[in-house]
Amino acid sequence: MNLLLKRILGASLTLSAFSFVNPTPANAQSCAVAPTCESLGYTKSESDCGSQDILRCPLDTSKVVCLSSQSSEKCENPAMGDILYSDMSCSSEVISEKTPIGIIFSSHKAIALSSEEKKWSQEEFYMPKIIDTEDIDSDCFGERNTLLFMEFCQGNDISCPAIEYAYNYKTPGTKAGDWYIPAMVEIAKFMDSRSLLNQKLSLVGGEKIPNAYHFSSSYCQFYGYASVYNYRDDYNDAINVGSSARVRPVIKF
């Protein structure tokens, strides 16, 4: 019996016990905690499940469990080049019954199957200093950086296409806010391994990592410039915010 069914059965027996075996007077107080959808394992919304079958919570039909014909065990020990699927499982092989959403390049981090060329901003401004050091070669906090940049752009009514694209990127099993622009260390990691990653991207119909400048969410101290990874020299660089560069979203899982 799987864990979900055990939880449902346990919750049903608990409710039965309180309803019929041991009724309490109307003026008595009960310390029993009523089950919730979350406690029964229904922690997703229908949109989170993409094309997967779902099981709805009887207490709140907006809460669901995503079902898969394959094992939905989480990706506990990912390897470089493994395929990340929409149920957050991973495999070195293509599983036709599952939906691939990314290729793993680091421990519990994966690149998206596609990228787009975007401008960083429609206007020049000083980048907010959102990391503790100006040494961007040590910055691996793209998720945090992207969120802070998103808040800064929205709070100052500035259009930031690159940030908005990565932040709003979504796939089956993921939603807006799950993906981000990688920091410089994260970009260097997948660019160094792009030969292997490109092989896996081809297997699942993804877009290969191009030889192109890639925007980083790391801090840039120069007015009107944004941080990019220079693919020619494998080095951090900067370009004007009005120029275009590739944006390859990353997810932490």
Distance CA 59, CA 8 (A): 11
In a domain, 157, yes or no: yes
Query: Quick one: 61 and 139 in the same domain?
Result: no
Q: Are 167 and 150 in contact (CB under 8 A)?
A: yes
- 86 domain residue, yes or no: no
Residues 127 and 209 in one domain: yes
Rounded average pLDDT over 169-175: 97
The answer to whether residue 79 sits within a structural domain is: no
Model confidence over 39-84: pLDDT tens digits? Answer: 767 888 888 877 666 778 889 999 887 764 444 468 888 999 999 9
Query: What pLDDT is attached to residue 164?
Result: 97
43 falls within a domain: yes
pLDDT at 47: 85
Same domain, 37 and 120: no
In whole angstroms, what is the distance from residue 248 CA to residue 226 CA? 15
Q: Give how many domains the chain has, as a whole number.
A: 2
The tens digit of pLDDT for each residue in 211-230 reads 999 999 998 888 889 999 99
Angle at 95 between CA 191 and CA 253, to 5 degrees: 50
The reply to whether 247 falls in a domain is: yes
Amino acid identity, residue 68?
Answer: S
**Per-residue pLDDT band at 140 (split at 50, 70, 90):** confident
pLDDT at 135: 64
Statement to judge: residues 183 and 118 lie in one domain: yes
Contact at 8 Å (CB) between 131 and 219?
yes
| 115 and 178 co-located in one domain | yes
DSSP string, 177-231: TSEEPPPHHHHHHHHHTHHHHHHHHHHTTPPP--SS-EE--S---STTEEEEEET
Do 33 and 15 form a contact (C-beta atoms < 8 A)?
no
Q: Is position 75 within any domain?
A: no
**Do residues 151 and 226 both lie within one domain?**
yes
Nearest to 152 by CA among 134, 126, 176, 132: 126
User: What's the confidence (pLDDT) of residue 220?
Assistant: 85
Q: Kindly state whether residue 103 falls inside one of the protein's structural domains.
A: no
Please indicate, yes or no, whether residues 243 and 145 belong to a single structural domain of this protein.
yes
Of residues 33 and 232, more confidently modeled? 232
Amino acid found at 151: E
In a domain, residue 206? The reply is yes
Amino acid at 98: K
Q: Give 28-35 contacts, CB < 8 A, sequence gap 24+.
A: 35/11, 35/59
Q: Clarify whether residues 53 and 165 are in a common domain.
A: no
Range of the domain at 53: 3-21+31-67
Residue (of 134, 146, 158) closest to 215 by Cα position:
146
Q: What is the pTM of this model?
A: 0.69
